[in-house]
Amino acid sequence: MNVSMPHVLIPLADGFEDMEAVIVCDILRRADVQVTLAGLGAGPVRGARGIQILPDALLADVAQESFDLLVLPGGRLGSQRLGEDSRLLDLLRERHERGEMIAAICAAPGVLAAQGLLEGRAVTAYPGTLDPHSPHYHYQETAVVVDGPLVTSRGPGTAMDFALTLVELLLGPAQRAQVEAPLQRSHVS
């Protein structure tokens, strides 16, 4: 069986949460998912903890390509900058209208909330990012929440669970298990 591998877009803005971007990209690539890290502008992008990443492409050059999933890494400043980029916001609204997969972690669900893209969904985020009492969505304090084509997660400590959930959604539980086994994760029963 020859199945084409999924293609994932991860936009990066200065101030992104380093662990979330790197862990999600790494885990997806371990699963042989094609990942495009896209910068909002030319040159390296600096994370909140100083890690610099040279993106694979500019968002402007890849925004019209077909992606199976768009993942927003968190980081307060990085998320704020993503939320100020009209190209990205247009892309998010288009994906939402078509029912296509969007994932956001940490502060990034706030970008989706500001655009009204969480309406009626079960969600989670970094504490203080979303109003836990909002009538617009159903806030949960779990590591990862999947509600239809929307996947949200809490923060750096949940990045690996978030990434492995994305692998499972894109490629199935067997591929998740294959990627997870060599990571030697500790599972507390």
What is the distance between the alpha carbons of residues 101 and 55, in angstroms, rounded to a whole number? 22
**What angle is formed at CA 48 by the lines to CA 24 and CA 141, rounded to 5 degrees?**
60
The CA distance from 59 to 142, in Å, is 31
Distances (CA, A) of 88 to 53, 130, 184: 19, 20, 36
Concerning whether 106 is annotated as a catalytic residue, the answer is yes
DSSP, res 131: -
Please name which of 49, 33, 48 lies closest in space to residue 175, comparing C-alpha atoms.
33
Annotated catalytic residue within 72, 105, 106, 163: 106
Q: How many Å apart are CA 151 and CA 158, to the nearest integer? A: 12
Give the Cβ contact number of residue 28 at 10 Å: 25
Residue 74's φ and ψ, nearest 5 degrees, are -90, -145
> Residues 11, 72: contact at Cβ < 8 Å?
yes
Residues noted as catalytic = 106
